[in-house]
Structures are given as C-alpha cells and as structure tokens.
Amino acid sequence: MNILGIETSCDETAAALVRDGHQVLSNVVFSQIPLHVKYGGVVPEIASRAHVEKIGEVIKEAIVDKIDAVAVTWGPGLSPALIVGLNAAKGLAKALGVELIAVNHIEAHLHTPFLDSSLLPEEAMPALALAVSGGHTTWIDMPRYTQYHIIGQTLDDAAGEAFDKAAKLLDLGYPGGPKIDKIAKEYLARPDYKRSDLISFPKGRAREGVSSLSGLSADLCVSFSGLKTALLRYVQQSGGAKKLSDDGEIPRIVTSYQEAIIEALCDRTARALKKRDYRSLIVGGGVSLNSRLRDSLQRVADRANVKLLTALPKYCGDNAAMIAALAYYRRNRSGQEAMSLDVNPSLEAGE
C-alpha cells in the first residue's frame, strides 16, 4: 500500500511516498530556514505563505508511483502552517478518491527508526521513547506499538529550543542545534581538551512541585530555564557575546552548555529505563541528530541492555516520510472523520 504523506507543521514543506509503512519511495523536503534566519526563529505567517507557495511543487515531485491513501500532519504545530497541509491533503484525497489519514507529528517522529528498515515496530516493544525536537522533550512508555503513556517531559523549554536560544544569545545563528553540535564536536576533539575546563552549568533539574502539577514525577522531568538563565548571567558577567567570541571562549561555553543538556536527557532516560523491562529505546526528533547525544544514549542503552533505535540522519528533522509511514499503522483514523478534521495545534503525543 502506497501512502502519500504531507507535512507542514512548522518550517518544512514536505511530501513523501512510502510503501507499507517502511519503504520510502520518495522524500521531498523544502526547508524554509533561510526565510526565518533573520528573525532568529520561525515566524508563523511567513511559514504559512511559504507553504502555500511550495506545497504544489513538493507534492508533485513526491508522486513517483500510484497513491492508495493520503496522510497529513494535523498537529501539534503552528496553526496557519498546519492548515496549508491539511487543505492540500483533503483536496488531493478527494480528487483521487482515496482515504485521508490524520497523523500526530510527535508520534510520527517516533516511527522514524523504522523507515528504510525491515524491523517491525511490534518487534521493538515494549519500548521507552524519547521525542526530542524544537517543540518537545517527552519520555513515553510504549507497552505496545501505537500505545502511549507520557511519563516525563520538559517543564519549560524543549531541548531544541534550549539549543536555539543559546545560539541566539551567542550570535551563532539559527537553528542553533546543528551549530552548537559542530562547535562542541571540534572542542571535544582538541588534544588539550580537559573535562575539568568545562563550566559547571545547572543540569536541568525539575522542581517537584511544578512536575506534580502535570501528574509526573520530577525524576523523569527536565527544566531548562535555570540553565538558560545561568548562561545569560555568564555571558553578561563576561562582557557580552562579542567579547567572548573575540577571546575564543565560545567553544568552551557551548560545549559546557551542550553537556548539561545531554546529561539531563541521559539521566532521565536511564531512570525511565529502570521502571520496566524494556526491549528498546526509541529516539526521534531533530535533536536526535546531535552526535554527542547519540553516543551518550548508546551508552545508556548498553548499560540497560536495550536496543537503541534512532533514525537515519535524513529522517531526524521534519519530513513527510514519517507521516506516510506511521499512517500505514494508523489507518483506523481515516475516512469521513479525517475529512472533517480541523487542525489541532496543541495535540499531545498519542492523542
């Protein structure tokens, strides 16, 4: 069964054709990043306009074989951006006379390790899943495939957001994650690198009272606001970003900052893995591209004797292959019901 996926939840206009939930026949992604760079983040109205301009072309390029169904992201994401994809998907499904399947964006990120892989999702269960993107940092217990229980999350910024905000503060550009990843990688590979040279930033501890508001235990939650404030204070006390850059201090700072985020993510993951006898650790989302995070999570998985499942780098960021692939396993959410759907910008994983 060939499913055409459409994704426009944020700043990527994407369409892809996927066979039977695994085999990617086409994967077209138009990134709007250059349009948003000068604002230091995604501007919803600009994103929406750019989606409208590109969506037809992107879909056309992705149609490389027959289409048996159309799938689309209906949330979470930016409302004006989501609407563009949903309308295109409705129109296409109607014109072709095929079913329309609505897909949750976060859930789709968790399906990415199965793209271009013959491993069946059910064979990876029970799994602990970690969704780490620009909008989400969430730990999810998956007893069976497509069953989700949120057991931990960030209480403020998502990990990707924490990367992006630090990069903005240090004038490194947008998006910050890849920039910080690269600088830190070079710093960590220096022959004179010493862990004791790193700045001791807060490690994302979540306050018990705040986590209990969402019914979650603090030991499986993170909070990056203290880390962000500590960085801001450090930069201010050191004479500003320009001075730090002139002094060649940026690599040491961003590496320390990245280590604090990774330590927080790995610590909560290790704790969550102890709660149940898991078979695998699934990690999806843009931040899972981070090379240091991947290595660290591999060690966490080895210690817990579970298999780490991550996506190929081309499927880590936002794409429509993940939407089309998950839709194959979500076909029960289709038909008339999906046709009358509105976008749901604040959808939670698994809803």
Cα gap 344→84, rounded to integer Å: 13
15 contact choice in ligand KG4, Zn ion, none (CB below 5 to 8 Å, kind-dependent): none
**What gap in Å lies between CA 43 and CA 316, rounded to an integer?**
22
Residue 141 touches which member of Zn ion, ligand KG4, none, C-beta under 5-8 Å by kind: none
Q: State how far the Cα of 330 lies from the Cα of 51, in Å rounded to an integer.
A: 25
Contact with ligand KG4 (CB under 6 A) among 75, 121, 177, 204 = 177
Binding to Zn ion, residues 130-159 (CB under 5 A): 133
Closest approach, Cβ 204 to Zn ion, in A, equals: 21
Structural contact between residues 121 and 110, judged by C-beta atoms closer than 8 angstroms: no
Residue 18 near residue 324, CB atoms below 8 Å: yes
Q: For residues 293 and 160, what is the distance between their CA atoms, to the nearest angstrom?
A: 12
Candidates 107, 157, 181, 249: give the one binding ligand KG4 (CB under 6 A).
Answer: 181
Rank residues 163 and 278 by Cβ distance to ligand KG4 and give the closer one.
Answer: 163
**Rounded CA gap, 222 and 159, in Å?**
9
Residue whose CB is less far from Zn ion, 133 or 288: 133
Q: What track of x and - describes contact with ligand KG4 for positions 126 through 155 (by CB under 6 A)? A: -------xxx--------------------
The order of strands in the sheet holding 127-132 is 149-153, 137-142, 127-132, 280-284, 307-310
Tokens of 285: 């989302």
121 binds ligand KG4 (CB under 6 A): no
- The footprint of Zn ion on residues 286-345 (CB under 5 A) is 318
Please state, as a whole number, how many other Cβ atoms lie within 10 Å of the Cβ of residue 20: 11
Q: Using CB under 5 A, list all residues that contact Zn ion.
A: 133, 318
Binding stretches for ligand KG4 (CB under 6 A): 10, 133-135, 160, 163-164, 175-178, 181, 285-287, 289-290, 317-318
